[in-house]
Amino acid sequence: MSSKLVVCNLHHNAPMTAELAVALCLAASKQIFEADRKLRQHDWSSRGIPCEGVPDPLPMLLLQGKVALVVGYGEVGQRVARIMSAFGMEVLATRASLSRVARDKHAVVHPPADLLSLLPRANVVFLCVPLTSGTSKMLGRKELAMLPKGSVLVNVSRCFSSLHAPLLHAHALG
């Protein structure tokens, strides 16, 4: 490979990627896939809607008043933050280029070093980072265990394929 190779990142897909992230968050927090599965099996139980006499409805996560953590506050992350802020969520974010906490209209933005202290507060985590040597091992089993029970993790990054095994382990533990 030539040292004259120039690599560019175009943000033409940022709106679509951010919308996908929000759609995945809504699907997970509202148990849409499980509710669809139940309906297709002719199971007309409550599907997360409290009904008298119906045991254990699917748990739904109300987003309003909860905390969203956007890991990677670039083009995609900023769009996600704007949308989740409109849902009434407190939005925290991390951005690689920051060395101290900053605030903008939609989020309180932290340096990456603060990630471990932010994870226990996050009801929803959006992974919106590029694949770099610094991001490829950013989250693992230990970090996932720090999330509150019932948290939603949305990955629209170009990395974190290494998360597959820890996620399966975390899911198995409940």
Going by pLDDT thresholds of 50, 70 and 90, the confidence category of residue 172 is very low
Condensed to tens digits (0 to 9), the pLDDT of residues 108-159 reads: 999 999 999 999 999 999 999 887 777 777 888 889 899 999 999 999 987 6
Asked if residues 61 and 31 have their Cβ atoms less than 8 Å apart, the reply is: no
Does the pLDDT at position 166 exceed 70?
Answer: no
Q: How far apart are CA 150 and CA 170, in angstroms?
A: 11
- Angle 152-66-126 from CA coordinates, rounded to 5°: 40
pLDDT of residue 9: 62
Asked if residues 132 and 97 have their Cβ atoms less than 8 Å apart, the reply is: no
Asked if residues 140 and 163 have their Cβ atoms less than 8 Å apart, the reply is: yes
3-state secondary structure labels for all residues of 27-94: HHHCCHHHHHHHHHCCCCCCCCCCCCCCCCCCCCCCCCCCEEEEECCCHHHHHHHHHHHHCCCEEEEE
Asked if residues 76 and 86 have their Cβ atoms less than 8 Å apart, the reply is: no
Going by pLDDT thresholds of 50, 70 and 90, the confidence category of residue 173 is very low
Condensed to tens digits (0 to 9), the pLDDT of residues 2-57 reads: 567 765 566 678 999 999 999 999 999 988 888 888 888 888 776 666 666 666 56
pTM for this prediction: 0.83
Condensed to tens digits (0 to 9), the pLDDT of residues 60-106 reads: 889 999 999 999 999 999 999 999 999 999 999 999 988 889 999 99
pLDDT of residue 47: 60
pLDDT of residue 89: 98
**Domains annotated on the chain, with CATH:** 61-173 (3.40.50.720)
Asked if residues 79 and 14 have their Cβ atoms less than 8 Å apart, the reply is: yes
pLDDT of residue 131: 78
pLDDT of residue 141: 84
